[in-house]
Structure 1
Amino acid sequence: MIWGRDELEWSGLVDGTSDFLAERGRIRRTTSYTELNSVLHRRTGARSFDFAKDSERAAMGALLGEVASRNLSEVGALVSSIVLYLNENDAGSGFYRLAEELKLLTPKPTADQRLIFWANQVKATYDYYS
């Protein structure tokens, strides 16, 4: 079990997320956690993530981290950069934590450094897919 999902379901979520983010990248558009959740449920038939639960928010973060890490060498950017909180204009804290773990972003960056890094990741994702 991976985050409460069997391996086949998790694999489908990873593939579905990769596909959807590539689609959004091709049209140079961001998405939200809410939209991604809805699309994954509709396309894979997997149960939706329940964002009212900490464990389910963490599972979505782990899913995005896996997809971003898996696609990094090909895309040259963290594709999860285009997934934003609803009504926000920035990636979640897990995005920056992953970037630091992968040594793409200096530890404890300033707000300006984070914003510049994020904008560059979005642009690189769009440029790759479009």
Structure 2
Amino acid sequence: MRYGREEAEWDSLVEAGIEFLVERAELENTTSYTEFNSVVCRRAGVRQFDFSLDAERAAIGRLLEQISEDARQRCGGLLLSALVQYLGTNDAGPGFYALAKRKGYTVPRGALPRYEFWLGQVAELHARHARPRRRPAS
């Protein structure tokens, strides 16, 4: 069991999470923790994480970490979890920056340089996965 979830359930969450975040990258978009929770759990056919509980917030953080780890090669070394941000903000959560450090990235200290680091990850994920744009018919 991982964070109160059976292995098969956890694996389904990871698979659904990768699929959803790659879709967001293809659309050159991001998502919120709330939307991520809702969509991924619905697709996996499991209960949503309860953000009012510390253990559930920790679980979704670990899920995003595993998604980034499992998709890292597919994403050219980028951290797919960069596409998940707090609702109503324009930045990643502290777990993203901690993961980036553990994966060998140099994460700047100041707020603006950290923000620019995150934006760089998002922009590179978008560039890597973006769907080709259709040209208007002549």
Supply the distance in 2 between the matched residues of 1:72 and 1:109 (Cα, whole angstroms).
24
Residue number in structure 2 paired with 1:127: 127
- Alpha-carbon RMSD across the aligned residues, in angstroms, is 1.1
Instruction: Give the gaps of 5 or more residues in structure 1.
Output: none
Matched pairs, number: 129
Instruction: Give the gaps of 5 or more residues in structure 2.
Output: 131-138
Supply the distance in 1 between the matched residues of 2:106 and 2:65 (Cα, whole angstroms).
15
Identify the structure with the greater helix proportion. 1
* TM-score normalised according to structure 1 size: 0.94
Supply the distance in 1 between the matched residues of 2:98 and 2:43 (Cα, whole angstroms).
29
Query: Is the radius of gyration larger for structure 1 or structure 2?
Result: 2
Residue number in structure 2 paired with 1:12: 12
Output the amino acid matched with 1:94: G
Residue number in structure 2 paired with 1:31: 31
Secondary structure in 1 aligned to 2:74? helix
Percent of aligned pairs sharing the same letter: 44
Deviations 1:55-101 (A, max 9, x none): 00010000001111221222121111110111110000000000011
- Could you list the structure 1 runs, at least 4 aligned residues long, displaced by more than 3 angstroms after superposition: none
Instruction: Tell me if the contact between 1:96 and 1:105 (Cα under 8 Å) persists in the aligned partners.
Output: no
